[in-house]
Amino acid sequence: MDAAMAEPSSEITDQLRQWSRGMYTTEAATELLIRAHRGVFASIERPWVKPTDHAYWIDFPAVTEHLSAHSGGEQRLLRIAASIGSNEAPPVRLGEVLGGLDRPTLRLVLAGVAHAGGSHQHSSLVIDRNGRATITRQPSLFMWDGEARRPGRSGWQPQVIAPGQ
């Protein structure tokens, strides 16, 4: 990792998160770049972080054009993020890249894949013994570091969504 590359400010990461909001794959890929290696891959000095008049966005296909200066593990992470973030980026063969990730990076990738798949928004229909149906929101299959689980027997408690909510 380039030690001279600055960490992004919270203002920049907030702008990137705002830009990505609404599409799970873009949100997940953006979070991977923000959360990995103290955020250096979301720095405005990166050639794939592009300015607009009022904010910044990430050109995910451009990520794969700038891999040579990075370690093997960083290249794997960047390729995964680019592939999740854009259909225009080269696809990644997970079997070739996952084994080369260190544990913290693998944890981020697992959370990113769960988010990209929308698992943080899944809900299920539960019918009780009396035949009453309720919809419960399920937790993400794999949480981003720092996200709290709701307390319950298995470490989380599904959120019940009342009709009309």
Going from the C-alpha of 51 to that of each of 19, 26, 72, the distances in angstroms are 11, 17, 28
pLDDT tens digits for range 102-138: 999 999 999 999 999 998 888 889 898 999 999 988 8
Q: What is the pLDDT of residue 156?
A: 40
134 within 8 A of 160, measured Cβ to Cβ: yes
Average pLDDT over residues 86-105: 95
pLDDT at 6: 65
Q: pTM for this structure?
A: 0.79
- The pLDDT assigned to 101 comes to 96
* Secondary structure of residue 68 in the 3-state scheme: coil
Nearest-angstrom CA–CA distance, 7 and 18 = 18
DSSP states along 106-154: HHHHHHHHHHHTTGGG-EEEEE-TTS-EEEEEPPPSSPPTTPPPPPSTT
Domain boundaries, the chain: 10-117, 120-161
Res 159 pLDDT > 70: no
**Least confident window among 4-13, 29-38, 64-73:** 4-13
CB neighbours of residue 58 within 10 Å: 25
Beta strand residue intervals within 63-108, DSSP E: none
Amino acid at 103: R
Q: What's residue 149's pLDDT?
A: 53
How far is Cα 31 from Cα 33, in angstroms, rounded to an integer?
A: 5
Average pLDDT, the chain: 86
Residue 19 has pLDDT above 90, yes or no: yes
Sequence-ordered list of residues with C-beta below 8 angstroms from that of 23, at least 6 positions apart, any chain: none
Question: How far apart, in whole angstroms, are the C-alpha atoms of residue 135 and residue 131?
Answer: 13
